[in-house]
Chain A
Amino acid sequence: MSKFLTGLAKGMATTARTMVTHAPTQQYPHVQPDLPDRSRGVIALLEENCTSCMLCARECPDWCIYIDSHKETVPPGPEGGRARQHNMLDRFAIDFSLCMYCGICIEVCPFDALFWSPEFEYADGDIRNLLHEKEKLGEWMRTVPPPEPIDPGAATGSDAVAPGEAAG
Protein backbone atom coordinates (compact mmCIF):
# COMPACT_ATOMS: atom_id res chain seq x y z
CA MET A 1 0.00 0.00 0.00
CA SER A 2 2.79 2.43 0.93
CA LYS A 3 4.63 1.45 -2.27
CA PHE A 4 1.44 2.22 -4.19
CA LEU A 5 1.13 5.67 -2.59
CA THR A 6 4.80 6.57 -3.08
CA GLY A 7 4.44 5.49 -6.70
CA LEU A 8 1.52 7.88 -7.14
CA ALA A 9 3.46 10.69 -5.47
CA LYS A 10 6.48 10.02 -7.65
CA GLY A 11 4.31 10.25 -10.76
CA MET A 12 2.97 13.62 -9.63
CA ALA A 13 6.48 14.87 -8.81
CA THR A 14 7.98 13.77 -12.11
CA THR A 15 5.23 15.38 -14.18
CA ALA A 16 5.42 18.58 -12.13
CA ARG A 17 9.18 18.77 -12.61
CA THR A 18 8.84 18.21 -16.35
CA MET A 19 6.18 20.91 -16.52
CA VAL A 20 8.42 23.61 -15.08
CA THR A 21 11.48 22.65 -17.13
CA HIS A 22 11.79 24.04 -20.63
CA ALA A 23 10.41 21.76 -23.35
CA PRO A 24 13.16 20.67 -25.77
CA THR A 25 10.85 21.22 -28.76
CA GLN A 26 12.28 23.33 -31.60
CA GLN A 27 9.55 25.24 -33.45
CA TYR A 28 10.94 24.18 -36.82
CA PRO A 29 9.35 26.25 -39.59
CA HIS A 30 9.64 29.38 -37.44
CA VAL A 31 13.05 28.59 -35.99
CA GLN A 32 15.74 26.83 -37.97
CA PRO A 33 16.94 23.69 -36.20
CA ASP A 34 20.32 23.71 -34.52
CA LEU A 35 21.91 20.83 -36.44
CA PRO A 36 25.00 19.02 -35.19
CA ASP A 37 28.31 19.05 -37.11
CA ARG A 38 28.51 16.68 -40.10
CA SER A 39 24.72 16.46 -40.39
CA ARG A 40 23.65 14.21 -43.25
CA GLY A 41 20.96 16.20 -45.02
CA VAL A 42 21.56 15.70 -48.70
CA ILE A 43 24.40 14.64 -51.03
CA ALA A 44 25.88 17.44 -53.15
CA LEU A 45 27.87 16.96 -56.34
CA LEU A 46 30.92 18.98 -57.43
CA GLU A 47 30.62 18.25 -61.12
CA GLU A 48 34.14 19.39 -62.11
CA ASN A 49 35.69 16.75 -59.89
CA CYS A 50 33.64 13.85 -61.22
CA THR A 51 35.44 11.57 -63.67
CA SER A 52 32.45 9.29 -64.24
CA CYS A 53 34.47 6.46 -62.72
CA MET A 54 31.20 4.87 -61.52
CA LEU A 55 32.68 3.80 -58.17
CA CYS A 56 29.87 5.52 -56.27
CA ALA A 57 27.16 4.00 -58.44
CA ARG A 58 28.63 0.53 -58.00
CA GLU A 59 29.17 0.84 -54.25
CA CYS A 60 25.69 2.23 -53.61
CA PRO A 61 23.84 -0.48 -51.61
CA ASP A 62 20.46 0.37 -53.06
CA TRP A 63 21.53 1.44 -56.55
CA CYS A 64 20.12 4.92 -56.38
CA ILE A 65 22.86 6.70 -58.34
CA TYR A 66 22.46 7.02 -62.11
CA ILE A 67 25.46 8.02 -64.23
CA ASP A 68 25.65 8.45 -68.00
CA SER A 69 28.80 9.62 -69.76
CA HIS A 70 30.54 9.59 -73.08
CA LYS A 71 34.18 9.78 -74.11
CA GLU A 72 35.59 12.81 -75.86
CA THR A 73 38.86 12.86 -77.73
CA VAL A 74 41.24 15.71 -77.06
CA PRO A 75 43.51 16.43 -80.05
CA PRO A 76 47.25 16.18 -79.31
CA GLY A 77 48.77 19.38 -77.97
CA PRO A 78 52.30 19.53 -79.41
CA GLU A 79 53.02 18.14 -82.85
CA GLY A 80 53.56 14.38 -82.89
CA GLY A 81 51.74 13.74 -79.60
CA ARG A 82 48.90 11.32 -79.27
CA ALA A 83 45.25 12.14 -78.89
CA ARG A 84 43.87 11.61 -75.38
CA GLN A 85 40.37 10.68 -74.25
CA HIS A 86 38.47 11.78 -71.21
CA ASN A 87 34.99 11.18 -69.82
CA MET A 88 32.28 13.80 -70.16
CA LEU A 89 29.52 13.51 -67.55
CA ASP A 90 26.09 13.56 -69.22
CA ARG A 91 23.91 12.64 -66.34
CA PHE A 92 24.43 12.26 -62.62
CA ALA A 93 21.29 11.66 -60.60
CA ILE A 94 20.55 10.44 -57.08
CA ASP A 95 17.13 9.04 -56.26
CA PHE A 96 16.56 10.27 -52.71
CA SER A 97 13.45 8.13 -52.41
CA LEU A 98 15.84 5.14 -52.44
CA CYS A 99 18.89 6.67 -50.80
CA MET A 100 19.41 5.51 -47.22
CA TYR A 101 21.98 8.18 -46.40
CA CYS A 102 24.74 5.65 -45.67
CA GLY A 103 27.37 7.93 -47.20
CA ILE A 104 29.31 5.12 -48.88
CA CYS A 105 29.30 7.02 -52.20
CA ILE A 106 30.96 9.97 -50.49
CA GLU A 107 33.52 7.76 -48.75
CA VAL A 108 34.36 5.88 -51.88
CA CYS A 109 34.72 8.85 -54.26
CA PRO A 110 38.47 9.10 -55.05
CA PHE A 111 38.19 12.61 -56.52
CA ASP A 112 36.19 14.44 -53.83
CA ALA A 113 33.21 15.04 -56.06
CA LEU A 114 30.52 14.14 -53.51
CA PHE A 115 29.88 15.93 -50.20
CA TRP A 116 27.47 15.82 -47.32
CA SER A 117 25.30 18.91 -46.98
CA PRO A 118 23.14 19.65 -43.91
CA GLU A 119 20.35 20.91 -46.20
CA PHE A 120 17.22 18.86 -45.52
CA GLU A 121 14.27 20.88 -46.82
CA TYR A 122 13.64 19.03 -50.07
CA ALA A 123 10.62 16.95 -49.11
CA ASP A 124 8.10 16.56 -51.90
CA GLY A 125 4.51 15.53 -52.35
CA ASP A 126 5.38 13.09 -55.14
CA ILE A 127 7.99 10.38 -54.69
CA ARG A 128 9.06 10.72 -58.34
CA ASN A 129 10.20 14.27 -57.69
CA LEU A 130 12.88 13.01 -55.32
CA LEU A 131 15.08 11.92 -58.23
CA HIS A 132 17.47 14.89 -58.40
CA GLU A 133 19.68 15.54 -61.43
CA LYS A 134 23.20 16.93 -61.39
CA GLU A 135 22.07 20.54 -61.75
CA LYS A 136 20.16 20.32 -58.48
CA LEU A 137 22.93 18.31 -56.82
CA GLY A 138 25.36 21.00 -57.93
CA GLU A 139 23.23 23.76 -56.42
CA TRP A 140 23.52 22.03 -53.06
CA MET A 141 27.31 22.48 -53.18
CA ARG A 142 26.73 26.01 -51.88
CA THR A 143 25.28 24.59 -48.66
CA VAL A 144 28.25 22.31 -47.95
CA PRO A 145 30.07 23.62 -44.87
CA PRO A 146 33.89 23.74 -44.69
CA PRO A 147 35.33 20.53 -43.24
CA GLU A 148 35.22 20.28 -39.47
CA PRO A 149 38.58 20.39 -37.66
CA ILE A 150 39.75 17.02 -36.44
CA ASP A 151 38.55 16.31 -32.92
CA PRO A 152 41.18 16.76 -30.20
CA GLY A 153 42.65 13.40 -29.27
CA ALA A 154 41.51 11.78 -32.50
CA ALA A 155 43.34 8.58 -33.37
CA THR A 156 46.21 9.06 -35.77
CA GLY A 157 46.28 6.04 -38.00
CA SER A 158 48.97 5.05 -40.46
CA ASP A 159 47.27 7.28 -43.05
CA ALA A 160 47.90 10.31 -40.86
CA VAL A 161 51.65 9.74 -40.82
CA ALA A 162 53.78 11.18 -43.64
CA PRO A 163 55.36 8.51 -45.89
CA GLY A 164 58.91 9.47 -44.95
CA GLU A 165 58.24 9.21 -41.22
CA ALA A 166 56.61 5.81 -41.54
CA ALA A 167 59.78 4.34 -43.04
CA GLY A 168 61.95 5.66 -40.24
Chain B
Amino acid sequence: MNEYVEIVIRSVCVLAAFLVLPLVVGQTEHKVMAHMQGRLGPMEAGRFHGWAQLIADGVKFAQKEDVVPLAADKRVFRVAPALGIVSYLLALAVIPFGPDFFGANVPGGLVWLLAVSGIGTLGTLMAGWSSGNKYSLLGGMRTAAQLVSYELPLILVCASFAIAAGSLSMVGIAQAWNPWWLIWQLPGAIVFLVAATAELQRPPFDMPVADSELVMGPYTEYTGLRFALFLLAEYAGIVVMSFLLAALWLGAWAGPFPHSLGWLWMLIKGGIFAFVIIWIRVAWPRLREDQLQRVAWLGLVPIALLQLAITAVGVVVTSQ
Protein backbone atom coordinates (compact mmCIF):
# COMPACT_ATOMS: atom_id res chain seq x y z
CA MET B 1 0.00 0.00 0.00
CA ASN B 2 2.73 2.42 1.03
CA GLU B 3 4.56 1.72 -2.20
CA TYR B 4 1.56 2.73 -4.28
CA VAL B 5 1.14 5.98 -2.35
CA GLU B 6 4.80 6.76 -3.00
CA ILE B 7 4.38 6.06 -6.72
CA VAL B 8 1.33 8.34 -6.87
CA ILE B 9 3.11 11.15 -5.00
CA ARG B 10 6.19 10.88 -7.21
CA SER B 11 4.05 10.89 -10.36
CA VAL B 12 2.11 13.93 -9.20
CA CYS B 13 5.36 15.74 -8.41
CA VAL B 14 6.74 14.97 -11.88
CA LEU B 15 3.49 16.12 -13.47
CA ALA B 16 3.51 19.33 -11.46
CA ALA B 17 7.13 20.03 -12.41
CA PHE B 18 6.28 19.24 -16.01
CA LEU B 19 3.40 21.72 -16.00
CA VAL B 20 5.22 24.49 -14.14
CA LEU B 21 8.85 24.43 -15.31
CA PRO B 22 8.20 24.80 -19.08
CA LEU B 23 5.94 27.77 -18.38
CA VAL B 24 8.63 29.33 -16.20
CA VAL B 25 11.16 28.82 -18.98
CA GLY B 26 8.72 30.20 -21.54
CA GLN B 27 8.04 33.30 -19.47
CA THR B 28 11.77 33.72 -18.89
CA GLU B 29 12.31 33.55 -22.61
CA HIS B 30 9.66 36.23 -23.17
CA LYS B 31 11.28 38.58 -20.69
CA VAL B 32 14.96 37.79 -21.30
CA MET B 33 14.60 37.97 -25.08
CA ALA B 34 12.70 41.25 -24.78
CA HIS B 35 15.33 42.87 -22.58
CA MET B 36 18.14 41.60 -24.78
CA GLN B 37 16.43 43.35 -27.66
CA GLY B 38 15.87 46.57 -25.70
CA ARG B 39 12.17 45.87 -25.11
CA LEU B 40 10.15 45.17 -21.98
CA GLY B 41 8.22 42.11 -23.17
CA PRO B 42 4.82 41.23 -21.70
CA MET B 43 3.82 43.81 -19.08
CA GLU B 44 0.02 43.68 -18.87
CA ALA B 45 -1.24 40.15 -18.17
CA GLY B 46 -1.42 39.58 -14.42
CA ARG B 47 -0.39 43.19 -13.73
CA PHE B 48 3.09 42.53 -12.30
CA HIS B 49 5.49 42.46 -15.28
CA GLY B 50 3.12 40.30 -17.28
CA TRP B 51 3.71 37.15 -15.24
CA ALA B 52 0.44 35.60 -16.43
CA GLN B 53 1.14 36.08 -20.15
CA LEU B 54 1.53 32.36 -20.91
CA ILE B 55 -1.66 31.54 -19.00
CA ALA B 56 -3.46 34.14 -21.12
CA ASP B 57 -1.89 32.58 -24.23
CA GLY B 58 -3.10 29.17 -23.10
CA VAL B 59 -6.66 30.45 -22.68
CA LYS B 60 -6.48 31.97 -26.15
CA PHE B 61 -5.22 28.71 -27.69
CA ALA B 62 -7.98 26.75 -25.94
CA GLN B 63 -10.63 28.98 -27.49
CA LYS B 64 -9.43 28.43 -31.05
CA GLU B 65 -10.99 26.02 -33.47
CA ASP B 66 -9.16 22.74 -33.93
CA VAL B 67 -8.75 22.52 -37.70
CA VAL B 68 -7.66 19.32 -39.41
CA PRO B 69 -6.83 19.85 -43.10
CA LEU B 70 -8.79 17.81 -45.63
CA ALA B 71 -5.62 16.43 -47.20
CA ALA B 72 -4.12 15.45 -43.86
CA ASP B 73 -3.49 11.92 -42.67
CA LYS B 74 -5.99 12.59 -39.94
CA ARG B 75 -5.15 10.10 -37.22
CA VAL B 76 -1.40 10.71 -37.43
CA PHE B 77 -2.03 14.45 -37.59
CA ARG B 78 -4.04 14.31 -34.35
CA VAL B 79 -1.62 12.06 -32.46
CA ALA B 80 1.60 13.91 -33.39
CA PRO B 81 1.45 16.76 -30.81
CA ALA B 82 0.73 14.33 -27.98
CA LEU B 83 3.79 12.27 -28.89
CA GLY B 84 6.11 15.22 -28.37
CA ILE B 85 4.71 16.27 -25.06
CA VAL B 86 4.36 12.80 -23.52
CA SER B 87 7.91 11.84 -24.43
CA TYR B 88 9.34 14.79 -22.53
CA LEU B 89 7.08 14.00 -19.56
CA LEU B 90 8.50 10.48 -19.49
CA ALA B 91 12.02 11.89 -19.81
CA LEU B 92 11.56 14.30 -16.91
CA ALA B 93 10.51 11.45 -14.64
CA VAL B 94 14.02 9.99 -14.43
CA ILE B 95 15.91 13.25 -13.84
CA PRO B 96 16.96 13.41 -10.18
CA PHE B 97 16.52 16.65 -8.21
CA GLY B 98 18.03 15.27 -5.02
CA PRO B 99 19.53 12.04 -3.66
CA ASP B 100 15.99 10.79 -2.99
CA PHE B 101 14.03 13.37 -4.94
CA PHE B 102 13.22 11.93 -8.35
CA GLY B 103 10.26 10.50 -10.23
CA ALA B 104 11.80 7.11 -10.86
CA ASN B 105 15.26 5.64 -10.50
CA VAL B 106 15.56 3.43 -13.56
CA PRO B 107 18.82 1.40 -13.74
CA GLY B 108 19.26 2.44 -17.38
CA GLY B 109 17.89 5.93 -16.81
CA LEU B 110 20.21 7.64 -19.29
CA VAL B 111 19.31 5.22 -22.08
CA TRP B 112 15.63 5.64 -21.26
CA LEU B 113 15.97 9.41 -21.35
CA LEU B 114 17.73 9.50 -24.71
CA ALA B 115 15.28 7.02 -26.18
CA VAL B 116 12.10 8.84 -25.17
CA SER B 117 13.41 12.31 -25.98
CA GLY B 118 14.18 11.02 -29.49
CA ILE B 119 10.52 10.03 -29.78
CA GLY B 120 9.60 13.67 -29.14
CA THR B 121 11.35 14.67 -32.33
CA LEU B 122 9.49 11.87 -34.07
CA GLY B 123 6.25 13.71 -33.22
CA THR B 124 7.46 16.67 -35.26
CA LEU B 125 8.35 14.36 -38.14
CA MET B 126 4.86 12.80 -37.99
CA ALA B 127 3.30 16.25 -37.97
CA GLY B 128 5.27 17.27 -41.03
CA TRP B 129 4.44 14.10 -42.90
CA SER B 130 0.72 13.98 -42.09
CA SER B 131 -0.14 17.64 -42.68
CA GLY B 132 -0.54 17.25 -46.43
CA ASN B 133 1.41 20.47 -46.96
CA LYS B 134 4.65 20.90 -48.88
CA TYR B 135 6.15 23.30 -46.36
CA SER B 136 5.32 20.93 -43.54
CA LEU B 137 6.81 18.04 -45.46
CA LEU B 138 10.03 19.98 -46.06
CA GLY B 139 10.12 20.88 -42.37
CA GLY B 140 9.50 17.27 -41.41
CA MET B 141 12.32 16.06 -43.65
CA ARG B 142 14.67 18.63 -42.17
CA THR B 143 13.61 17.47 -38.71
CA ALA B 144 14.47 13.92 -39.68
CA ALA B 145 17.85 14.98 -41.07
CA GLN B 146 18.56 16.96 -37.93
CA LEU B 147 17.51 14.09 -35.66
CA VAL B 148 19.83 11.68 -37.48
CA SER B 149 22.85 13.97 -37.39
CA TYR B 150 22.53 15.42 -33.89
CA GLU B 151 21.37 12.32 -32.05
CA LEU B 152 24.79 10.79 -32.70
CA PRO B 153 27.00 13.38 -30.90
CA LEU B 154 24.36 13.59 -28.16
CA ILE B 155 24.52 9.86 -27.51
CA LEU B 156 28.33 9.82 -27.77
CA VAL B 157 28.78 12.48 -25.08
CA CYS B 158 26.13 10.87 -22.89
CA ALA B 159 28.10 7.64 -23.23
CA SER B 160 31.16 9.59 -22.11
CA PHE B 161 29.39 10.73 -18.95
CA ALA B 162 28.15 7.20 -18.33
CA ILE B 163 31.66 5.76 -18.73
CA ALA B 164 33.09 8.38 -16.38
CA ALA B 165 30.50 7.51 -13.75
CA GLY B 166 30.50 3.78 -14.41
CA SER B 167 26.72 3.83 -14.31
CA LEU B 168 23.75 4.33 -16.62
CA SER B 169 21.41 5.36 -13.82
CA MET B 170 20.87 9.10 -13.51
CA VAL B 171 21.16 8.93 -9.73
CA GLY B 172 24.28 6.79 -10.07
CA ILE B 173 25.92 9.31 -12.41
CA ALA B 174 25.11 12.20 -10.10
CA GLN B 175 26.52 10.30 -7.12
CA ALA B 176 29.74 9.50 -8.98
CA TRP B 177 30.25 13.15 -9.89
CA ASN B 178 33.24 15.07 -8.59
CA PRO B 179 34.44 18.62 -9.35
CA TRP B 180 37.12 17.37 -11.76
CA TRP B 181 34.34 16.62 -14.21
CA LEU B 182 33.99 20.34 -14.85
CA ILE B 183 37.27 20.25 -16.80
CA TRP B 184 37.44 16.59 -17.71
CA GLN B 185 34.01 16.57 -19.34
CA LEU B 186 33.98 20.17 -20.57
CA PRO B 187 34.18 19.39 -24.34
CA GLY B 188 31.42 16.86 -23.87
CA ALA B 189 29.24 19.39 -22.09
CA ILE B 190 29.67 21.92 -24.90
CA VAL B 191 28.84 19.29 -27.52
CA PHE B 192 25.83 18.27 -25.45
CA LEU B 193 24.56 21.84 -25.22
CA VAL B 194 24.90 22.44 -28.95
CA ALA B 195 23.43 19.07 -29.91
CA ALA B 196 20.55 19.48 -27.44
CA THR B 197 19.71 22.91 -28.87
CA ALA B 198 19.70 21.37 -32.35
CA GLU B 199 17.64 18.41 -31.17
CA LEU B 200 15.04 20.83 -29.81
CA GLN B 201 15.07 22.73 -33.12
CA ARG B 202 15.79 25.91 -31.29
CA PRO B 203 17.49 28.83 -33.02
CA PRO B 204 20.20 28.91 -34.36
CA PHE B 205 19.30 25.35 -35.38
CA ASP B 206 15.66 25.99 -36.25
CA MET B 207 15.86 25.16 -39.97
CA PRO B 208 12.90 22.74 -39.71
CA VAL B 209 10.51 25.39 -38.36
CA ALA B 210 12.19 28.45 -39.93
CA ASP B 211 9.17 30.71 -39.89
CA SER B 212 10.53 33.07 -42.52
CA GLU B 213 10.94 30.42 -45.19
CA LEU B 214 8.93 27.37 -44.14
CA VAL B 215 6.20 29.22 -42.24
CA MET B 216 6.75 27.11 -39.09
CA GLY B 217 7.41 23.93 -41.11
CA PRO B 218 5.69 20.93 -39.50
CA TYR B 219 3.44 23.19 -37.40
CA THR B 220 1.99 25.14 -40.35
CA GLU B 221 -1.37 23.37 -40.36
CA TYR B 222 -1.83 23.20 -36.60
CA THR B 223 -4.18 25.44 -34.68
CA GLY B 224 -5.45 25.87 -31.16
CA LEU B 225 -4.50 23.45 -28.46
CA ARG B 226 -2.55 21.10 -30.71
CA PHE B 227 -0.29 23.96 -31.76
CA ALA B 228 0.04 24.98 -28.12
CA LEU B 229 1.10 21.43 -27.29
CA PHE B 230 3.96 21.70 -29.79
CA LEU B 231 5.07 24.98 -28.22
CA LEU B 232 4.80 23.47 -24.74
CA ALA B 233 6.79 20.45 -25.92
CA GLU B 234 9.56 22.80 -27.11
CA TYR B 235 9.82 24.39 -23.67
CA ALA B 236 9.48 21.04 -21.92
CA GLY B 237 12.35 19.94 -24.14
CA ILE B 238 14.47 22.86 -22.97
CA VAL B 239 13.69 21.89 -19.38
CA VAL B 240 14.58 18.24 -19.93
CA MET B 241 17.80 18.97 -21.82
CA SER B 242 18.96 21.70 -19.40
CA PHE B 243 18.34 19.57 -16.34
CA LEU B 244 19.84 16.53 -18.02
CA LEU B 245 23.04 18.47 -18.67
CA ALA B 246 22.95 19.81 -15.10
CA ALA B 247 22.59 16.28 -13.79
CA LEU B 248 25.36 14.89 -16.00
CA TRP B 249 27.97 17.61 -15.93
CA LEU B 250 27.29 19.61 -12.76
CA GLY B 251 26.43 16.72 -10.49
CA ALA B 252 22.71 17.43 -10.10
CA TRP B 253 22.22 18.14 -6.39
CA ALA B 254 25.92 18.59 -5.61
CA GLY B 255 26.36 21.57 -3.29
CA PRO B 256 25.98 22.42 0.39
CA PHE B 257 23.32 20.39 2.26
CA PRO B 258 22.52 18.07 -0.68
CA HIS B 259 19.78 16.23 1.22
CA SER B 260 17.73 19.28 2.15
CA LEU B 261 18.75 21.86 -0.49
CA GLY B 262 19.71 19.58 -3.37
CA TRP B 263 16.61 20.46 -5.38
CA LEU B 264 17.56 24.16 -5.18
CA TRP B 265 21.07 23.60 -6.58
CA MET B 266 19.57 21.46 -9.30
CA LEU B 267 17.04 24.17 -10.19
CA ILE B 268 19.77 26.81 -10.32
CA LYS B 269 22.09 24.67 -12.46
CA GLY B 270 19.34 23.67 -14.86
CA GLY B 271 18.10 27.26 -14.95
CA ILE B 272 21.54 28.46 -16.04
CA PHE B 273 21.56 26.09 -19.02
CA ALA B 274 17.98 27.03 -19.93
CA PHE B 275 19.09 30.67 -19.84
CA VAL B 276 22.05 29.92 -22.11
CA ILE B 277 19.75 28.15 -24.58
CA ILE B 278 17.51 31.25 -24.61
CA TRP B 279 20.53 33.54 -24.88
CA ILE B 280 22.02 31.87 -27.95
CA ARG B 281 18.61 32.03 -29.58
CA VAL B 282 18.65 35.81 -29.26
CA ALA B 283 22.31 36.33 -30.12
CA TRP B 284 22.98 34.08 -33.09
CA PRO B 285 21.52 33.94 -36.58
CA ARG B 286 19.99 30.79 -38.03
CA LEU B 287 22.28 28.31 -39.77
CA ARG B 288 21.62 27.19 -43.32
CA GLU B 289 20.66 23.54 -43.78
CA ASP B 290 24.08 22.53 -45.14
CA GLN B 291 25.90 24.49 -42.43
CA LEU B 292 23.75 22.69 -39.90
CA GLN B 293 24.87 19.28 -41.16
CA ARG B 294 28.47 20.49 -41.34
CA VAL B 295 28.43 21.53 -37.68
CA ALA B 296 27.14 18.11 -36.68
CA TRP B 297 29.38 15.84 -38.72
CA LEU B 298 32.59 17.87 -38.95
CA GLY B 299 32.37 19.66 -35.62
CA LEU B 300 30.42 17.83 -32.97
CA VAL B 301 31.00 14.17 -33.85
CA PRO B 302 34.84 14.43 -33.83
CA ILE B 303 34.80 16.39 -30.56
CA ALA B 304 32.40 13.86 -29.05
CA LEU B 305 34.63 10.96 -30.15
CA LEU B 306 37.66 12.76 -28.74
CA GLN B 307 35.79 13.30 -25.46
CA LEU B 308 34.92 9.61 -25.39
CA ALA B 309 38.60 8.72 -25.81
CA ILE B 310 39.67 11.20 -23.11
CA THR B 311 37.07 9.79 -20.74
CA ALA B 312 38.09 6.20 -21.47
CA VAL B 313 41.77 6.98 -20.84
CA GLY B 314 40.88 8.88 -17.67
CA VAL B 315 38.78 6.03 -16.32
CA VAL B 316 41.47 3.44 -17.08
CA VAL B 317 44.23 5.57 -15.54
CA THR B 318 42.32 6.45 -12.36
CA SER B 319 40.97 2.95 -11.74
CA GLN B 320 44.46 1.42 -11.62
Point out residues on A near B: beta carbons under 8 Å: 8, 11-12, 14-16, 18-19, 21, 23-25, 27
Chain A residues with CB below 8 A from B38, complex form = 18, 21, 23-25
Known contacts A24-B38, A27-B43; is-contact A19 B32 (Cβ 8 Å): yes
Q: Which of A15, A18, A23 lies at the interface centre, i.e. has the most chain B CB atoms within 10 A of its CB?
A: A15
**Once bound together, how far apart are the Cα atoms of A12 and B280, in whole Å?**
7
Contact B284 A25 (CB under 8 A): no
Contact B283 A11 (CB under 8 A): yes
**Once bound together, how far apart are the Cα atoms of A25 and B41, in whole Å?**
10
Chain A residues with CB below 8 A from B283, complex form = 8, 11-12, 14-15
Known contacts A11-B283, A15-B279; is-contact A25 B40 (Cβ 8 Å): yes
Chain B residues with CB below 8 A from A18, complex form = 35-38
**Once bound together, how far apart are the Cα atoms of A83 and B146, in whole Å?**
93
Chain A residues with CB below 8 A from B36, complex form = 15-16, 18-19
Chain A residues with CB below 8 A from B282, complex form = 15
Looking at the complex, which one of B32, B39, B284 makes contact with A23 (CB distance below 8 Å)?
B39
**Once bound together, how far apart are the Cα atoms of A15 and B38, in whole Å?**
9
Chain A residues with CB below 8 A from B284, complex form = 8, 11
**Once bound together, how far apart are the Cα atoms of A15 and B36, in whole Å?**
5
Closest-CB distance, B288 to chain A (whole angstroms): 14
Known contacts A11-B283, A15-B279; is-contact A23 B43 (Cβ 8 Å): no
- Quick one: closest A residue to B276, CB to CB? A12
Closest-CB distance, B299 to chain A (whole angstroms): 10
**Once bound together, how far apart are the Cα atoms of A15 and B203, in whole Å?**
15
**Once bound together, how far apart are the Cα atoms of A19 and B34, in whole Å?**
8
**Once bound together, how far apart are the Cα atoms of A16 and B283, in whole Å?**
9
- Quick one: closest B residue to A26, CB to CB? B40
Closest-CB distance, B30 to chain A (whole angstroms): 13
Chain B residues with CB below 8 A from A27, complex form = 40, 43
Contact A23 B40 (CB under 8 A): yes
Some 27 contacts from A to B, beta carbons below 8 A apart, are A8-B283, A11-B283, A11-B284, A12-B279, A12-B283, A14-B283, A15-B36, A15-B279, A15-B282, A15-B283, A16-B36, A16-B279, A18-B36, A18-B37, A18-B38, A19-B32, A19-B35, A19-B36, A21-B38, A23-B38, A23-B39, A24-B38, A25-B38, A25-B39, A25-B40, A27-B40, A27-B43
**Once bound together, how far apart are the Cα atoms of A27 and B284, in whole Å?**
29
Closest-CB distance, A136 to chain B (whole angstroms): 31
Closest-CB distance, B313 to chain A (whole angstroms): 27
**Once bound together, how far apart are the Cα atoms of A16 and B37, in whole Å?**
10
The A-contacting residues of B in range 257-289, CB under 8 angstroms, are: 279-280, 282-284
Task: Please provide the 8 A-B residue pairs with the shortest distance between their CB atoms, ordered closest to farther.
Answer: A11-B283, A15-B36, A15-B283, A19-B35, A19-B36, A25-B40, A12-B283, A15-B282
